[in-house]
Amino acid sequence: MANPVWTGVVAFGLVSLPVALYTATDRHTIRFHQIQRGTADRVRSRRVNERTGDAVDLDEIVKGYDTGSEYVIVEPKELDDIAPGRSKAIEVRGFVDLDAVDPIFFDKTYYLGPRGEQYNKIYGLLERALVESNKAGIATFVMHGREYLVALKAENDLLTLHTLHWADEIRDPHQEVPDLPGETEPTAAEVKMAHQLIDALTTDWDPEAFHDTFQEKVKALVEAKAARETVEKAEPAAKPTDVVDLVEALRASVERARSLKDTGEKAGTSHAARVRKPAPQKRAASTSKNGSLRSLTKAELYEKATKAGIRGRSAMTHDQLANALDRAKGT
């Protein structure tokens, strides 16, 4: 059972609901220690006095605001004393339609739970009212010395709290992003082909179909280096599409997507599964004595090359891997 990261009350109108806030998401980042190159010595960060060089305990550190001529010292308790609602209330300012909040404002998600069975009725009432009205409560509260703008929503039979960016934290894209299309107009044929491609690739949203492949490759890299082996390098990034060949590129993409669709239907798979995991395209048969290798994907060839102990495999293309396996088999 997780520990709450904050406790307080949700206040809307004259109703107060005691709640506990729980982290709703994790980040599966692989952690590395800092090591001095050529040694096994850890490198650590230390809090030191800039003038004396002496280490400083955490409880001896306070906040200081630089006015230019001196530091104004602020104690943690002083921040709590001025916090709206004394840091313990989520004050709902009003309720808005969910569709009215632009997705760019959403930041992090938390779960909200009632603090005690005696508050289940109030909790359930608010959850049901938000579901049936399709609205979210917009509120502010203070946590860990910072004020947050939040949206209180009902999702999957519980209340959730989504921190929002403040309006002045959203950057103007026209000032941040160079070379926006502006008055550029695509042709009717390009628009038609783009719609066809979107239709051909349309599927149901299934978050379970996606996973962090880079994290998996980092783990594989660590394991391979520990075993004194090499790993397969990633394919180079796709080259930018030539504007002159845009329609042809769109047409080829549509044909490929439809081909995968037909293959999936013949195999009895759903459209969603087909788009999420398209069947690997088989390559043309080779005239080599082991032509079946050409029908394997590069990942499958690399696995065979690893088992065969072929040197330099991490830098090889698909065909080079197949040829190397051919030669290894013939020796």
Q: What value, to the nearest 5°, has the Cα angle with vertex 196 and ends 249 and 188?
A: 75
Task: Look at residue 192 and tell me whether its pLDDT is greater than 80.
Answer: yes
- pLDDT at residue 278 in the model: 40
Report long-range pairs for 252-256 (Cβ below 8 Å, ≥24 apart). 253/197, 254/193, 254/196, 254/197, 254/200
pTM of the model: 0.61
* Tokens 């950057």 -> residue: 171
- pLDDT at residue 273 in the model: 41
Residue 137: pLDDT band with limits 50, 70, 90: very high
For the residues of 170-237, what is the DSSP string, one character each?
A: SPPHHHHSSS--TT----HHHHHHHHHHHHHT-----GGG---HHHHHHHHHHHHHHTT---PPPPPP
Q: Are 193 and 142 in contact (CB under 8 A)?
A: no
Could you read off the pLDDT of 290-328 as tens digits, one per residue?
Answer: 456 776 777 778 778 878 888 777 667 777 888 888 888
Residue 30: pLDDT band with limits 50, 70, 90: confident
Could you read off the pLDDT of 199-214 as tens digits, one per residue?
Answer: 888 888 887 887 777 7
Percentage above 70 pLDDT, the chain: 83
Report long-range pairs for 321-327 (Cβ below 8 Å, ≥24 apart). 322/286, 322/288, 322/290, 322/293, 322/294, 322/296, 323/288, 325/290, 325/293, 325/301, 326/288, 326/289, 326/290, 326/293
Percentage above 90 pLDDT, the chain: 30
Which two structure tokens, joined as six digits, stand for 310?
């072929």
Could you read off the pLDDT of 71-117 as tens digits, one per residue?
Answer: 999 887 787 777 655 568 898 999 999 889 999 999 999 999 999 89
Which two structure tokens, joined as six digits, stand for 38?
């050529």
